[in-house]
Structures are given as structure tokens and as C-alpha cells.
Amino acid sequence: MLRWRCALNNCKQIRIFALLLLVISSQWTFAASPEAKYSRDGMVTSRSELASKAGIEILKSGGNAIDAAVATGFALAVTYPSAGNIGGGGFAVIRLADGNVVTLDHREKAPASAHKDMYLDAEGNVIKGESRNTHKAAGVPGSVDGLLTMLEKYGSKSRKEVMAPAIRLAKKGFVLNRDLTRQFNNVAQRMTAYPGSMETFTNKGEKYQIGDIFVQKHLGKTLETISRRGRDGFYAGPVADLIVAEMKRGNGEITHKDLQDYQSVWRAPVKGSYRGYDIWGMSAPSSGGALIVQMLNMFEPFDVKAMGWGSSEVIHLMLEGERRAYADRAEHLGDPDFYEVPMAMLTSKDYAKMRFSDFEKEKASDSNAIGAGSWPAESPQTTHFSVADGDGNLVSLTTTINSSYGNKIVVQGAGFLLNNEMDDFSLKENTRNQFDLIGRSANAIAPGKRMLSSMSPTIVTKDGKPVLVTGSPGGSTIITTVLQVVMNVIDHEMNISDAVSLPRFHHQWLPDRVFYDEYGISPDTKKALEVMGHKDLKVVPWGRGIGDANSILVKDGEISGIHDPRNEGGAVGL
């Protein structure tokens, strides 16, 4: 367990956090135990225990972590449809057994017909809901191409083998638990205009009940087509025809050519260093890799460990770093194929030093007075899973359809949801998206462009050896969730259970507001932060906790994994 330290707020804080642990344990009785699972041969942890077991099934049959990740990704499309998907996209950070780290960008793209002002009315105002709740909200999906590209390049199993668990789960069905039953019954109320969605998420027009068997015959057929035909099973042929027909029904933008033209991109990873550890993240159009490295660079000169986890001193430090990093996100990050992202600047230790030079230890900055930095010499529904095998292969993969259940539209006859990722573009300069993130010209809409993302799949190594695999959903809170898991492991020397389970906080520059998990900031710490000038501290009610960091720690040859106890899920060891 943690060794609690007295910091700025005196020893009263220790008693508060001791009570906190008891409260947390009682709050999490509805979920699986927050205790980690252990293995020396392999681990998969995800938002769905069934999907994690699909990955382990592949590891047991002799597959590697990449094979298991592909199996888990396809299984999540069946067992966790609100975010697991074949109608969305994502990013993967892969550490190979030989020590090399590669990253795959399979983020969605804007259709060829997209343009900068496509969601604005004649007066130049954003049309409410157009980029979130319509067929026009969907970007060209990348998940299928991404998973198959990973498998072809680094996997050892066939498509048929790795997709078999997902196909079985779709065709034979699985028992609905309380979590999914509640989700389906809530979301169906917003799907009444879409026959494919109502067919999927209602039981012949009636509400699903806990214990019902959830069968997805159309999705099973789609997965079988992909298994048999590969990429052409989705981006061409009958499935592509169904996607385009769905677009035509609702005045959507995706065409056959958009689907045929989609390609994943292997990109150079973002690499940083922090206290002797190597931090590997995803490059743009992810903003996570750059911002996590930038903030760690800001914090490295400070003795975070001595400050004490949960103290007002360390929270103030981290909030100020977050404030500056998210300001840079708004200005400098976008699709590097369309915009020259200053990645070297953002990840430079010298830049971080300059960017943090106005930090005051006892005074909060005013977000309205902080703009994006410059270099004198020249940023809610997603899911993350982590995979490790016994040979040192690691996969950190975050995938999304953006909002929970995307745009709520299931492709008729194909059985999968469409994303609403177009909302992640900057619809209008300095206008907030659904996560209150500000965007500017770097993330403006353009044909074939990938929208900026906060997804932050991350791998940590030391001396070339695996240490941590982590990531999270949560929109704008993804980056700060991953940051805190990394710092909990490195600075506070926590085991994986504590590093993931303990409360988190979040700041994103604008709005100038601090969010924190229920019970996450003690009353005296909150008061101290307010005295420093931190504004509008708001608790995130339990059940809507910050992040969902399904993570793996490797130490002394032992692999420990945990699914984030804020939600359902499963860590399964080999």
C-alpha cells in the first residue's frame, strides 16, 4: 500500500486519505475487485472481461501480444458497443520484443466532400447537433484497416484465428449484465429514428433485461466477411455498399471512394524521458503524446515525491502544467499531413523550462492571461486496452467512436455504429466542442484530414525493458488521466492497483475550472488550492469518474494488470 507522507497540508491529510481508501473500497463493491491480476506469461486488460478473455484465448494458442490485441479489438466491437467499434478509429503504440517501438495511426478521416464551414449556417454560426447527431457527423472509419494492418505486419496468427472469438460472441451471443442492459435501455430512447439501431439495441422493440442473451447476427456476418476477405470485406463489396446506402438515407458524406482511399499510417512515436524512464506516446493527430511529455518535462525539476501524493503543493504544480499544455494544444496540434506540427518544440526540455518559467509555487495562473507558447528559435466515449505477452511485446491501444454510441446510427444490415468524430475538428475557430476543447486553424476541417484527438496510448520502459502500458478514454481528460498514472508509478512508486484506482483531477486551460474525482481532494487541500487562486473546483460524481485506465505494470519479470474499478471490465492473465 502507499506510504502516505505529510506535506503542505499537515498530517490531517493522512487520516483523510486513510478514510478515503475505506470509502473507495465500499464505493467499488458494484464492480470487479480493484486488486490486480498477476502472470509471468501474458495479460490483457480492457473495458470488457469477455474481450480480455478473447485476447487471452489467442495468447494461449501461441499468439503474441499483437495477435491478442487484434482479437481484443474486434471482440470489443461486439461486447462493448458504446466505444469498442469497427465504425470508428484509434491509435496503437506497440513495443516489440526486440525493443523497437512503433505507432499506428488509424484515426478516422474527413470525407472528400468535407469543407471548413460545413457545420455553419448562413450567418457563420455552428448548427447545433449537426456534427454530433446526424449521418454527416461520421468520419471515414479506420479501425478495421488499423487492426488488420497491425496483424499483417507484426502478428503471427491468421485473420480467421484472431477474429474467431469476436464472431462467436456476435453470432451465439452473450449474457447481458447490469451495465450493458442499463446502457442499451437509456440510449435506445435517442435511436428511435434509426431502424438499424432499434433492431440492435432493443429486444424486438422491447427493453432488454439483465440476463438476456444479446445476439448480433448482422455484426457477426460483417465480421465473417472481414475475416474472409480482409480489408475488402469492409472498405469494398457488400459491407461498403451498406455503409454508402446508410449515408444516402441520412444525407451523409461518406462515399465508396472515401472508403477505398482510407489507409492507416505508421508514424514515428513521440519519445520523452522522465527521471530515467523512457516515455513512448502517439504522435499527431493525437495530442496526448506531445502533451504528456511536455508536462513531464515541466515537472522533472521538482521533487514531486517529496511533495506527497494528493498534497495541495503537488496538485497545484500539476494543474499549472496542465493549464499551459492545453493552451498549446489549441494552437499547435492537428493532422501533420496538413499542418506542420512543432513536435520538436513541444517535447523539448528547454521549451518546457521556458514555458513553465512563470510558474509561482503559491499562486494560480489566470487561464485568460495564458496564450499558446512559441519557440524563440523558430487538448466522451472511447475505450482503452493494454496487452502484454511473455516475450516483451506490448500493445497500448485506444479506440473510439467519440460520443457514447457515436452518432447513435447503426448501419442497417451491417450491425455496427457509426462514429461522430467530425465534431473533433475545430468547427469554427475558438469554438468549444463537446468536451469544451478549443480549436483553431491547425485543426480546421479539410477533405481527407484526420481530426485532432486526445487519445493517449502510452508505454513506459526503463533501460530498454518494459515497465508500464496505459491509456484511457474520457475526451479531454484522457491526457491528464494517463499523466497521473505515469507519475503515480514513477514518482510515487505505486503498484498498479494504487496507480490506477486512486482519485484523479483535471484542468484543460479553458474553461478555467478544476474537476476532481469524488473524495479526491480533501477539504483542507481544496481550501489551500482556492487560497492560491484556483477557481471553480468541481467534483465529478461517482459513476462518472475521471478516466478508465486499464493498465499493465511489468516488474521483476512479473506482469500485473488491472481494469479501472471506476467501470466494469476485466484484467485476465495467461
Torsion over CA of 52, 558, 553 and 389, rounded to 10 degrees? -40
Are 431 and 124 spatial neighbours (Cβ–Cβ below 8 Å)? no
Residue carrying C-alpha cell 503559491: 362
Question: What does the alpha-carbon distance between residue 355 and residue 350 come to, in Å, rounded to a whole number?
Answer: 9
Residue 569 in grid coordinates? 471490465
Question: What does the alpha-carbon distance between residue 394 and residue 545 come to, in Å, rounded to a whole number?
Answer: 27
Are 495 and 560 spatial neighbours (Cβ–Cβ below 8 Å)? yes
Instruction: For 213-225, give one letter per residue: b (16+ CB within 10 A) or e.
Output: ebebebbbbbbbb
Are 54 and 147 spatial neighbours (Cβ–Cβ below 8 Å)? no
Helices (H), 112-204: 143-154, 159-172, 178-187, 195-201
The C-alpha angle 108, 113, 115, rounded to 5 degrees, equals 85
Residue 480 a catalytic site member:
no
Residues 6+ apart with CB under 8 A from 388: 42, 43, 65, 394, 395, 466, 469, 552, 554, 559, 561
Residues 6+ apart with CB under 8 A from 573: 37, 38, 39, 41, 42, 43, 56, 559, 561
Quick one: the chain helix, strand, coil %, rounded to 5?
Answer: 40, 20, 45
Residue carrying C-alpha cell 476485466: 570
What are the E-state strand segments in 453-564?
458-462, 465-470, 505-506, 514-517, 537-540, 551-555, 558-562
Residue 563 in grid coordinates? 481494469
Are 551 and 541 spatial neighbours (Cβ–Cβ below 8 Å)? no
Question: What does the alpha-carbon distance between residue 73 and residue 424 come to, in Å, rounded to a whole number?
Answer: 22
Given 382, 400, 480, 525, the catalytic residue: 382
Question: What does the alpha-carbon distance between residue 197 and residue 200 come to, in Å, rounded to a whole number?
Answer: 5
Element spanning 355, H or E? helix 349-355
Known catalytic residues are: 382
